[in-house]
Amino acid sequence: MSADTRSNRISRRRFLGTSAAAAAAVTIVPRRVLGGPGETAPSDTITYGVIGNGGRKDSGMRRWKCCERIAVCDVDTKRIGGDRDGKSRFTDFRKMLERKDIDAVAIGTPPHWHAIPCIMAAEAGKDIFCEKPMTKFIAEGRAVADAVKRYGVVFQIGTFGRFGKQNEANRENHKIIQYGLIKDLSDMVVTASGKNRIGQTALPKQEVPEELDYDFWLGPAPYKPYNKDRVHYKNRFYWDYEGGDLTNFGFHSLDPVQWVIAKDDTSPVKVRPGPAPWPQHPDAVCPFSWTESTYADGLRLVLGGGSIKAAYDRPKKRSSVSVKDLDEAARKRYDELPDPPKLVEFDVAVKTRQQAGGNAESSHRCSALMNLANIAIRLNRTLEYDPVKEEIVGDEEANRFVNIPMRAPWHL
């Protein structure tokens, strides 16, 4: 070997050493960090924690690609998963709310556990995605809507029908009703539909499984002995935790309709139950047929889908309105007034700080409508309601369902 060859040869070890040093000075950067095509840069990412990792988990949040789940909370340790995915795990959502790196929460708990996490999340400055139905009783919904507004956070309910093509096609209907361009809508009947599965009336006490913190699962709901058929999805069929399928499935159907009839900021003045077996059980949700909710302008909303098949008992002349129904003066006014704004998706709302399309106020009004329907069914009485004071009028017992006391230490 010549001297030149020796001097020009770099030993493999030196080469590797030099190369390693050189490599260290150049970092391989994942595409998502830079926010390349199809990837969200960190500043555009909405980090969130899931509260209630059961059936629904955060399936609604996955609608927006910029949302990244970084924490999970559940009172059932079997539901918070293992440690392999790098997410933080909690059994107490209040600890999760302390995290400054969490921008939002996705609430998938049973409905009796919707209001308090929503309110506390707002108090902690977190944006909120909350599964439907929004709340279990009327005063809860008002408290959530007020907290969201007070703290300037974003709220989106977990149903998206109002963003769909049906609502796009009904903007004219919405505008006419919103601005009161037809004064009397008493010949208008609109329908929405739920489902109706019922609870069991004699569930004996069972031993609480080790993985479940039952006291925390109950939270604000009254103490009743544990039974596996009262928890984990089946809570739907017990008044302590939810309003049955009327509120569960009814919300999907009713929420877009509420927008179409421009009632996102008000409630009915009268609620009448249709025929149903009575009395209802004090604990387990029972069959119903339909309820009729009448608004101040006369418009009636019939919420059906009950397992009791009974036809609605009043004639319906029309279920929508259009510009053709307006007189000349109203038509002129229609042209002058603004069109309804486009509904804003959660991810855009978080970035621009606007209210989302399925916001807290509209969701509260939708929940309140269904809560009133259930009260009417349970009492077998027509109710009169003040949509401004949000009280049932002239019926003290019924009004006691509006703001139900919570188990300590929980409160609105």
Residues near other proteins (CB under 8 A) are 94-95, 97-98, 100, 120, 122-125, 149-153, 201-205, 222-225, 227, 275-283, 286, 308, 310, 336-338, 341-342, 352-355, 378-381, 394-397, 400, 404-405, 407-409, 411
β-bridge partners, 408? none
β-bridge partners, 130? 107, 157
Dihedral sign, Cα of residue 75, residue 76, residue 79, residue 82: positive
Compute the least distance from the CB of residue 128 to other proteins, in Å.
Answer: 12
Place of tokens 């955060």: 58
Q: Which is nearer to other proteins, 365 or 378 (CB)?
A: 378
Compute the least distance from the CB of residue 10 to other proteins, in Å.
Answer: 52
Q: Which is nearer to other proteins, 36 or 277 (CB)?
A: 277
DSSP 189: E
Q: Which is nearer to other proteins, 82 or 394 (CB)?
A: 394
Rounded CA separation 215/228 (Å): 14
Compute the least distance from the CB of residue 16 to other proteins, in Å.
Answer: 47
Rounded CA separation 41/355 (Å): 23
Compute the least distance from the CB of residue 77 to other proteins, in Å.
Answer: 21
Q: Which is nearer to other proteins, 39 or 216 (CB)?
A: 216
Rounded CA separation 208/211 (Å): 8
155 contacts 60 by C-beta, under 8 angstroms: no
Rounded CA separation 276/279 (Å): 9
188: buried, middle or exposed (CB in 10 Å: 19+, 13-18, 0-12)?
buried
DSSP 114: T
Q: Which is nearer to other proteins, 85 or 265 (CB)?
A: 265
Compute the least distance from the CB of residue 342 to other proteins, in Å.
Answer: 7
Compute the least distance from the CB of residue 380 to other proteins, in Å.
Answer: 7
